[in-house]
Amino acid sequence: MKQTYLLVLAILSCYACNRHKHSHSEIQRDSAKSMKEHLDHISTATVAFITDAAVITEEEINTGKAAIKKARNFRTKQYAKKAVEDHTNFYNELQSLASQTGVTLPAPNTHKGLETLNTDTDFDKAYIKQSISNHRKLLERINIASASDEDSVSTLSMRALPVMETCLSDANIVLQDFRKQMNNRDISHN
């Protein structure tokens, strides 16, 4: 009897846990939607900018910290240090803007962005490619936000724009260096 009771309890517990599984993006969308319902003075675009930029920026910080430890290439490590510094500053400004506007940032995810990097054999190149992709997404959002009617949003966006453009440019230069190295290896093996 006691074993049957424990088995039923275990099954019900598993069922209850699975009922509430949502992906990180679903939780983020629900969070943004519920915030918007309570923040009529803030545009949907502002909420989306703050939350999206925070997620992308957090990923850049996480992957940058991993690159500082794992990268083999000196230029990659240099780039990662600068990216972590720039994105940490931007994230702090996003937190301040979120606080001023009443927007709740998504819960921190210290593993965001590391899933693919941890399985890639060429960590340095994978990190730089991921950083380029993230910067393109972030710059798209910053460009849209820079035209915002909300002064605090447009001011932050305009201040962040040249910093993030420089980050993207630097990442592209590191990637070009990798490609040159690969071409030089191919030539020397012929």
pTM to 2 decimals? 0.73
Are 94 and 50 in contact, with CB atoms under 8 Å apart? yes
- pLDDT (mean) for 157-167: 97
Residue 170: predicted pLDDT: 97
All structural domains of the chain, each given as residue ranges with its CATH number in brackets, are 44-189 (1.20.1260.10)
Identify the residue with better confidence: 116 or 51: 51
Are 30 and 47 in contact, with CB atoms under 8 Å apart? no
Identify the residue with better confidence: 170 or 188: 170
Side-chain-facing half-sphere of 135: CA atoms under 13 Å: 25
- In three-state secondary structure terms, 114 is helix
- pLDDT (mean) for 127-137: 96
Report the 10 Å Cβ neighbour count for 18. 8
Residue 82: predicted pLDDT: 98
Tell me the DSSP string of 33-55: HHHHHH-TTS-HHHHHHHHHHHH
Report how far residue 76's alpha carbon sits from residue 62's, in angstroms, rounded to the nearest whole number: 15
Residue 109: predicted pLDDT: 73
120 pLDDT band, cuts 50/70/90, is low
Average pLDDT score over the chain: 81
Residue 77: predicted pLDDT: 95
